Structures are given as structure tokens and as C-alpha cells.
């Protein structure tokens, strides 16, 4: 995702370079090809290579297509300890990515970078869930009657929040520091004094996810949509509503292509 984002920001990037980047992962490649044959992208079942898929979908759509294929491959099981079904997590992250990208178009933040941050923001939770499965040890699973958030449960049993684990991973993967910082802070936005527009954007995207009924249970209280958070990004009320409508329409389109 990081490599693809860099390519898509290069004015002189060619379709072949983008196809090569996608082809690094065979499983991802095959899923992108299959999705490009969907009627959503005017497919007739005649695309057989990544090069052809990129040519059909085009620069404007390819990151969304790759992102949808990535999250489907990445979230391959229910999250142990959290009690989150895999399908719900996939849909929640996909909409969060699309909402982040859509909101970014009304701000100064790069939409492609925003999409990637929204899509990958919960990798730390996946790592913690793997630790649970492999015997990391914990006394009890997350339950809203006992814990106010996933972060409280994570801190009690593992001594670290999932957002911090995500930040460690994305730093190792050489993501830009601004992306890492925004993900580290996006659940803890101080509405009264938020100074990081990117963190505010990810938090506002979460509010769109919540309005669509796809928020994760232990994060529902984290998403805030106020004039103060919108002001940090320079987004007015009309733009906020329009971003939500656009995000849900795009989400429905991608989900159709995934089927």
C-alpha cells in the first residue's frame, strides 16, 4: 500500500509500474483481476492479467480496488479476545478507508494517503488477536460491561494499546511519520484542542462509519462529529453531509465488486 501510494503520487508513473507493484503479492493480484471483471467496472469476464486490470480500472480507482482486495486478504479470521467477526471488521475498515479518502478531498490532506491510513489503522488489533490465539495469556475477553473501550482491555492485559502496535508496525514498514502519528492519536482526539488535522480526519471518518452502523463495539465512544473537529479540517456542515453520502455510495459499489 505504501509503495502504491508513492507511485500514484508520481506525475510520471506508468500503468506498468503500478501493475508491477500489485504483482508482488500473487494472492492480491488474483483478487484484483477478479474484481476488475465485476460489472461494477464494466467487466465482461475477459480480464486475465494485472496489467489489463489496471488499464480497465484506471489511476483514479486502482487504490480503492487494491485496498478492498487487501483488507479481504488481511482480515482472514475473527479477532480472538475482541469478539469481532472477520466480515464486520473487513466492512468497517473498508468504509473507514473510503470515508477518510472522501473527507480528505474537502481538506488539504492527500486522499490516497488518508485511504491507506483508514484501511490499515487496526493492524495492531490483529496482532494482539494473534497473540491471544497463540497463548499470550489474558484473563478475560473484551466485554462492554467491564471495559469502556478496546484500549482499556488492551492496556490491562497486554500493557499496550492496539493503536500503538499499529504505529510500531507502520514505522517498521517505513510509512510517513505523519500517517503513523495520526493513527496513534486518532482514537484519542482532544476535540477542544486537536492540533493534528490528519488525526481529526480519521476520527471524523469513524463518525461516518458509526452513522452507517459499522462501528466496532469497543470504539463507538471514540468517534466524534462536531463543528470543532470539522473546523480543524476546514469542512463545513454541507461538506460533511456530502462526504458521508459519497463514502457510502462508493462503499456499496466496492462491496458489490467484492461479491
Alpha helix stretches (DSSP H) within the chain: 2-8, 15-23, 26-36, 50-57, 59-74, 86-104, 111-120, 123-133, 150-158, 162-172, 177-185, 197-211, 227-233, 237-258
The tens digit of pLDDT for each residue in 30-44 reads 877 877 777 676 666
Domains of the chain and any CATH numbers: 1-74 (no CATH), 77-248 (1.10.3210.10)
Is residue 100 within 8 Å of 114, Cβ to Cβ? yes
pLDDT band at 243 (very low <50, low <70, confident <90, very high): very high
**What is the spatial distance between Cα 243 and Cα 141, in angstroms, rounded to a whole number?**
35
pLDDT of residue 209: 97
Among 39-48, 52-61, 72-81, 104-113, the range scoring the smallest mean pLDDT is: 39-48
pLDDT of 64 over the 80 cut: no
What DSSP designation does 29 have?
H
pLDDT of 174 over the 60 cut: yes
Is residue 158 within 8 Å of 147, Cβ to Cβ? no
The tens digit of pLDDT for each residue in 204-242 reads 999 999 999 999 999 999 998 888 888 888 999 999 999
User: Which residue did the predictor score with more confidence, 20 or 98?
Assistant: 98
Q: What mean pLDDT, rounded, does the chain reach?
A: 85
**What is the spatial distance between Cα 181 and Cα 177, in angstroms, rounded to a whole number?**
6
pLDDT of 136 over the 70 cut: no
Sign of CA dihedral 17, 179, 106, 243: positive
Amino acid at each position: 500500500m505504501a509503495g502504491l501510494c508513492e507511485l500514484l503520487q508520481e506525475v510520471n508513473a506508468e500503468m506498468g509500474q503500478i501493475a508491477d507493484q500489485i504483482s508482488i503479492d500473487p494472492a492480491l493480484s488474483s483478487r484484483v483481476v477478479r474484481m476488475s471483471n465485476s460489472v461494477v467496472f464494466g467487466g465482461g469476464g475477459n480480464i486475465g492479467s494485472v496489467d489489463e486490470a489496471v488499464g480497465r480500472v484506471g489511476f483514479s480507482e486502482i487504490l480503492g480496488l487494491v485496498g478492498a482486495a487487501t483488507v479481504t486478504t488481511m482480515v482472514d479470521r475473527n479477532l480472538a479476545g475482541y469478539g469481532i467477526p472477520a466480515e464486520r471488521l473487513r466492512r468497517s475498515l473498508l468504509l473507514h478507508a473510503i470515508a477518510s479518502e472522501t473527507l480528505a478531498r474537502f481538506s488539504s490532506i492527500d486522499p490516497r494517503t488518508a485511504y491507506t491510513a483508514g484501511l490499515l489503522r487496526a493492524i495492531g488489533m490483529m496482532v494482539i488477536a494473534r497473540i491471544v490465539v497463540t497463548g499470550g495469556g489474558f484473563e478475560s475477553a473484551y466485554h462492554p460491561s467491564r471495559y469502556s473501550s478496546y484500549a482499556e482491555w488492551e492496556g490491562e492485559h497486554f500493557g499496550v494499546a492496539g493503536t500503538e502496535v499499529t504505529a510500531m508496525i507502520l514505522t517498521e514498514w517505513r510509512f510517513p511519520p505523519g500517517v503513523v502519528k495520526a493513527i496513534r492519536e486518532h482514537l484519542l482526539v482532544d476535540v477542544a484542542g486537536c492540533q493534528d488535522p490528519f488525526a481529526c480526519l480519521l476520527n471524523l471518518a469513524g463518525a461516518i462509519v458509526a452513522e452507517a452502523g459499522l462501528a466496532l463495539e469497543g470504539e463507538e465512544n471514540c468517534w466524534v462529529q462536531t463543528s470543532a473537529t470539522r473546523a480543524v479540517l476546514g469542512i463545513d456542515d454541507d461538506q460533511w453531509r456530502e462526504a458521508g453520502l459519497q463514502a457510502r455510495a462508493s462503499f456499496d459499489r466496492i462491496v458489490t465488486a467484492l461479491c
